[in-house]
Amino acid sequence: MSYLPHTPNDVEAMLKAIGVKSVEELFTALPAEFKFPELDLPEGLSQLEAAHNIEDLSETNFPAGKTIMFLGAGAYNHYSPPVVNHILLRGEFLTAYTPYQPEISQGTLQAIYEYQSMICALTAMEVSNASHYDGATSLAEAVILAINATRGDRKKIVLGSSIHPEYRAVVRTYTQGMGLAIVGDDESTTDQEVVINTIDDQTAMVAVQYPNFFGQIDKIDQVIRAAHEHGVLACIIADPIALGLLKPPGLMGADIVVGEGQGLGIPLSFGGPYLGFFSTRQKYVRRMAGRLVGETVDVHGQTGYVLTLSTREQHIRRDKATSNICTNQGLMALAAAVYMSVMGKHGLRKVAELCYHKSHYAANAIDKLDGYSIDRSKPFFKEFIVQCPRPVGEINQYLLENYGIIGGYNLEAPYPSRKNQMLLAVTEMNSREDIDLLAQALKEASE
């Protein structure tokens, strides 16, 4: 039954019941200067004409799929098999709503369960949730878990300086008012020096990135050992694609592994929606925010899936609740699950190997150019730092205008001391021809 009036008589009856003479009289309390003026709209278009106009507008965009791209810094142009999008568009999956009713949500629940299982396998951890909004949110939730795990007795959080600057900013925003001391990310020093020397008995959690924001592979096992010597939780922010090749943090003793899952089959999409994965040790499972799906059996002994360790009402228990991550990016978790299941461990390793070898091919080519140099102080995975002869903004403008290439990230913006330094990302999507063209364009841009 509709409660909206459909005829003039219905409108008149409604106005009479309310006690006003006209619809306009309902809005007399609003000052005239704040009311929307009369719309001056152009004449209407046919459906065909409107479609042409919209198509013309869309072509003014410059998406990664239609150009050569070397921009990364947290969001990457990775290949997504067509089956990922095909599954996402199925009606029974096209929602982000939490499947509270297991009797009608077995497919979604099983997909989430498989996602959790694969994240655990990828990170070598024991439990995973599904999921957070992005990698930065996952890190902030790790901080809250650590504070709760130490019962609030420790109020110090150590963040490595080469953690993504936006992740560190989100942590500070997320935890404002909690009385925490967030230290260690002085950008004038290196991660290893700051992290290990700053950890003490007042620290609840220490976090480092693997590979770090600059694409470099730090010796995170040293940080983890130093953390455990003081009874501190060690959180590793990982690139899931890199984990197809690198040693998983769980095998090095990490207590929490978080990160951005966008590379797992999720398109760039102009900045979102993305996926924050979160995995930890079994002993912290009850302090973990987000949804957790468990496998069980029904009265007939058949396998079934349910949300476990958390009821719907748990999320509204005010100060006793964990973070309210009940309805979130379920569709993105499904995309990652489909991607990982299709690729398998061998496929993930192949993607990681392609990223590694292509990025090193690019670094070697650029290192030969006059005026450019590569930071080789640490091994790198798919991103590397290029010292440029001119401001990065000028070089990127030249690449775009003359070759249609989206260049690297300007490191001077978040790190003022890194003048004329560019962070280049190379993935499996960049061909040898793309890299050779980049090298040629960079050479011309310096002349």
Average pLDDT value for residue range 48-55 = 94
Three-state DSSP state, 233: strand
Could you say which of 3.40.640.10, 3.10.310.30, 3.30.200.20, 3.50.50.60 is the CATH number of the domain covering 82-340? 3.40.640.10
Provide the β-strand partners of residue 181. 156
Q: How many Å apart are CA 195 and CA 139, to the nearest integer? A: 16
Give residue limits of the domains in the chain: 64-79+345-445, 82-340
Kindly state the percentage of the chain with pLDDT values over 90: 70
- Of the pLDDT bands very low, low, confident and very high (cuts 50, 70, 90), residue 384 is very high
274-314 confidence digits (pLDDT tens)? 999 999 999 999 899 888 999 999 899 999 999 888 765 55
Mean pLDDT (the chain) is 91
Helix H or strand E segment including 120: helix 106-123
Model pLDDT, residue 2: 46
> What are the two backbone dihedrals, phi and then psi, of residue 9, each rounded to the nearest 5 degrees?
-65, -40
Examine residue 414 and say whether the peptide bond preceding it is cis (omega within 30 degrees of 0).
no
Dihedral sign, Cα of residue 195, residue 139, residue 279, residue 249:
negative
Do 214 and 375 touch, CB atoms closer than 8 A? yes
Please give the DSSP secondary-structure letter assigned to residue 132. B
Of 138 and 322, more confident? 138
Q: Which residues contact 408 (CB under 8 A, 6 or more apart)?
A: 70, 71, 72, 386, 392, 396, 422, 423, 424, 425
- In this structure, what is the dihedral angle of CA atoms 157, 159, 165, 171, given to the nearest 10 degrees? -20
pTM reported for the whole predicted model: 0.88
Model pLDDT, residue 1: 40
Model pLDDT, residue 24: 85
Burial (0-12, 13-18, 19+ Cβ within 10 Å), 243: buried
Could you say which of 3.40.225.10, 3.90.1150.10, 3.40.250.10, 3.40.50.720 is the CATH number of the domain covering 64-79+345-445? 3.90.1150.10
Do 265 and 338 touch, CB atoms closer than 8 A? yes
Average pLDDT value for residue range 195-203 = 94
